[in-house]
């Protein structure tokens, strides 16, 4: 499957048990790393400070992962990033995690475009520039 963006990373020793198998919770880190790398590839950041000092961020609404096979120590993983659905205020992501040609997991996340105010209050907003200028649903799904 062709992907909108592919991020690669090596499974670190600290992420594994004594059998060299990555703990399941790391798959969420892998997906988040890939998401951040995708933003950087577009010249963006997961957090954007507007001229008025208010930050636009992308908190998670949901996250899930279906595990198909274990990730192992020192293997290079390829995380295929696709936008399944681009909503008015949110993005639904699909992350397929591979070791070579073997699919290890399918992850999904939904993130909401929010104003992150200093007092910690989040307010969902329509996806705004500079983000709205860059995102599109993956034609490859």
| Residue 86 host element (H or E) | strand 76-86
Q: Which of 138, 134, 141 is nearest to 42 (CA)?
A: 134
Q: Which of 116, 132, 134, 137 is nearest to 59 (CA)?
A: 116
Half-sphere exposure of 123 (CA within 13 A, CB side): 8
Pick the catalytic residue from 17, 52, 99, 133.
17
Residue 51 is among the residues annotated as catalytic for this protein: no
From CA 48, how far away is CA 55, in angstroms rounded? 5
Active-site residue list: 17
């Amino acid at each position: 499957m062709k992907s909108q963006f592919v991020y690669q990373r090596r499974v670190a020793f600290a992420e594994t048990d004594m059998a060299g198998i990555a703990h399941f919770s790391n798959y969420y880190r892998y997906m988040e790393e890939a998401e951040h790398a995708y933003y950087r590839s577009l010249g963006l950041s997961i957090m954007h400070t507007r001229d008025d000092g208010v930050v636009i961020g992308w908190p998670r609404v949901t996250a899930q992962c279906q595990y198909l096979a274990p990730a192992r120590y020192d293997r290079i993983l390829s995380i295929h990033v696709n936008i399944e659905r681009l909503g008015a205020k949110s993005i639904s992501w699909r992350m397929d995690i591979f070791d070579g040609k073997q699919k290890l997991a399918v992850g999904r996340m939904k993130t909401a475009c929010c104003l992150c105010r200093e007092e910690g209050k989040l307010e969902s907003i329509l996806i705004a520039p500079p983000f709205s200028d860059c995102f599109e649903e993956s034609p490859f799904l």
